[in-house]
Amino acid sequence: MPSADIVIAALVNGLLTGGVYALIALGLTLIYGVLHIVNFAHGSLLMVAMYGAWILSAWMDPYVALPLMAAVMFVVGWALYAGVIGRIGRGDDRTILLATLGVAVVLDNLALVVFTGDTRTIETPYSFDMIELGPLLLSTPRVISFGVAMLLACALWAFMALTDTGRAIRAVAKEKEGARLVGIRPARIFALSYGIGIACLGAAACLLLPTFYVSPQVGNVFVLVSFTVVVLGGMGSFPGAVLGGLIIGVTESLGGLFLGESLGQIGISLVFIAVLLFRPAGLFGARA
């Protein structure tokens, strides 16, 4: 039986990891909520963003690069939707789904060609800084990434709730035809939402880089967990994505502690099944 100190440390570490899951899942849930498609390219675009941040790290700190990377990824997301996914999809959900899958395959293999299968890491002056909190040793960059992820989640929520653009996005998500009647152009809102969803990945990439590695497969490490988070929280729900991310982070961490790191992953699936059994639409999902 692990000591109380270790359990508390595992709990806090789980929360910190969950913050980043939440940020990645926010983008995914936004795209689902508006476009009603599961973005299979999410992991690959995270990988692209991480390579972007990795390249930029030669000139600037990943945290300084965060706004830039988010902006760049917004443009990438917008262009990808307007130029490729939307065009191929022609409004048919299934085709859009396949288009995102195609984008993922192309990006993954392009990365293999350009960057080879190597694993890359960076070292920043604060990579190994720790915050001492009683018996806890918390990695400073992970505390920062948690804080920034939560701030961004709040900012995104405020944007959706308080601005006209946010209202337009919500209008399109709810009732596309009705939105069109009041002068909103759904195609533009789709590209905008996809862009914002991908911009979240730009931010997540910069937050991950000081403590994680980059490789062409790095997206797969996060994307399955994010899918779980989104379904758990309720497809399309922001508070659901945040809470779901934190729950999955803590479950994974405690599961690893009590069941061993191999078997511990089962905890995620157990929580997932329990939520689906008792709240089929997810924690915050609208009931059908």
Partner 1 sequence: MTLRVTRRAALAGAAVLAAPIVARAQAAPVKIGLIHPVTGALAFSGQQCRLGGQTAIGDINGAGGIKGLGGAKIEAVLGDAQGRPEIAASLVDQMAEGGVSGFTGCFASALGLAATQAAAKYNIPFSIDSGIADSLTTRGLGNVFRFFPNNSSVTTDAMTALKDINTKAGSPAKTAVLVHEDSEFGTSTAKLLADKLPPIGITVLALIPHATPTRDFSNIVLRIKSEKPDLVLISNYQNEYVLLARTLVQQRVELVGTYSVSGGGFNLKFAKEAPTVAEDMMDFNHWYNPRDPRGPAFRKRIEDGGGVFTWEVPFGYFAVRFLADAMDRAGSTDKEKVIAALADSTFSDHFMPYGPTKMVNGQNTGAHAVALQIQKGDMQVIWPEQFASAPAVFPRPKI
Q: Which residues, including other chains, have CB under 8 Å from residue 240's CB and lie 6 or more apart?
A: 29, 230, 232, 233, 234, 282, 283, 284, 285
Q: Which stretch binds partner 1 (CB under 8 A): 8-16, 61-69, 70-78, 150-158?
A: 8-16
Does residue 128 interact with partner 1 by CB under 8 A? Answer: yes
Using CB under 8 A, count the residues that bind partner 1: 41
Q: Is 1 helix (H, G, I), strand (E, B) or coil?
A: coil
Q: Which stretch binds partner 1 (CB under 8 A): 73-81, 94-102, 125-133, 188-196?
A: 125-133
Q: Is 121 helix (H, G, I), strand (E, B) or coil?
A: coil
Does residue 219 interact with partner 1 by CB under 8 A? Answer: no
CB-nearer residue toward partner 1: 19 or 234:
19
Among 145, 215, 226, 237, which residue interacts with partner 1 (rule: CB under 8 A)? 215
Does residue 265 interact with partner 1 by CB under 8 A? Answer: yes
Residue spans of beta strands (DSSP E) within the chain? 130-133, 136-139
3-class secondary structure per residue, 265-277:
CHHHHHHHHHHHH
Among 79, 88, 101, 122, which residue interacts with partner 1 (rule: CB under 8 A)? 122
Q: Which residues, including other chains, have CB under 8 Å from residue 116's CB and lie 6 or more apart?
A: none
Does residue 270 interact with partner 1 by CB under 8 A? Answer: no
Does residue 262 interact with partner 1 by CB under 8 A? Answer: yes
Does residue 105 interact with partner 1 by CB under 8 A? Answer: yes
CB atoms within 10 A of CB 51: 20
Residues, the chain: 288
Does residue 137 interact with partner 1 by CB under 8 A? Answer: yes
- Amino acid code (one letter) for 226: S
Does residue 261 interact with partner 1 by CB under 8 A? Answer: yes
d(CA 270, CA 264): 10
**Contact positions vs partner 1 (CB under 8 A):** 2-3, 6, 9-10, 13, 17, 105, 108-109, 112, 116-123, 127-128, 130, 137, 139, 211-213, 215, 220-222, 225, 252-253, 256-257, 260-262, 264-265
